[in-house]
A and B are shown apart, each in its own frame.
Chain A
């Protein structure tokens, strides 16, 4: 069972996770706009990514303990986790159909964006592999917090404090996994395994952007 403190922490993180959703306006704009050329697509997806980062920062600021960290460490954590958190968030958008019927249009926009398929296929493969875990909203929110509070980010000075904060969320996530997937004791481990896959996106992201710009 979750302790009272863990319950409060989870509730607090969930409120902010739900609140910091991509604004519906952006999702509907995705559809209303007629068939965009690939350069409009570029602008649209770049705007979406920028919005993602702003939403990510709002979510992160509300993670209990984050604001007590050194300011430059806060920057290091966000810079180091932004791409991973964005792909995790996109996996949630796709798997929980948060854009309702717009999901397939978004997929089509991405496939026609001019990004090479060497990058796109692994992306949708990742969404599918995350989808198979049938994660509940609490798991997405907590896993995002775990990704952000990763102590081995570049330029991070105070690793111990970040490690302690991350552990808090890992303990809650482990209990949530046991509660929501009682028949699958390996579920928590498989969830953490996805973080390794997520890191590969971070590594390839800069090349992906470069090749996209060239196209």
Chain B
């Protein structure tokens, strides 16, 4: 799950992706 990613990974993913659900 996302929670296992480091802070930077979560940020990079979120910057690229779009979590607007």
Whether A75 touches B12, Cβ cut-off 8 Å, given contacts A55-B19, A58-B20, is yes
- The answer to whether B19 and A54 touch across the interface, beta carbons within 8 angstroms, is yes
The number of chain A residues with a CB under 8 A from chain B is 19
Report the interface size for chain B: residues with CB under 8 A from the other chain. 15
Of chain B, the residue at the smallest CB distance from A19 is B20
Which residues of chain B have C-beta atoms less than 8 A from A78's C-beta? 11, 15
Q: Is the CB of B11 within 8 A of A57?
A: yes
List chain A positions with a Cβ less than 8 A from chain B: 19, 23, 43, 46-47, 49-50, 53-55, 57-58, 61, 71, 74-75, 78-79, 82
Instruction: Sort A-B residue pairs by CB-CB distance and give the 9 closest, nearest first.
Output: A57-B14, A46-B3, A54-B19, A78-B11, A50-B3, A54-B14, A50-B2, A53-B10, A47-B3
A sample of 19 inter-chain contacts (CB < 8 A) reads A19-B20, A47-B3, A50-B2, A53-B7, A53-B10, A54-B10, A54-B19, A55-B19, A57-B19, A58-B18, A58-B20, A61-B15, A71-B15, A74-B15, A75-B8, A75-B11, A79-B7, A82-B7, A82-B11
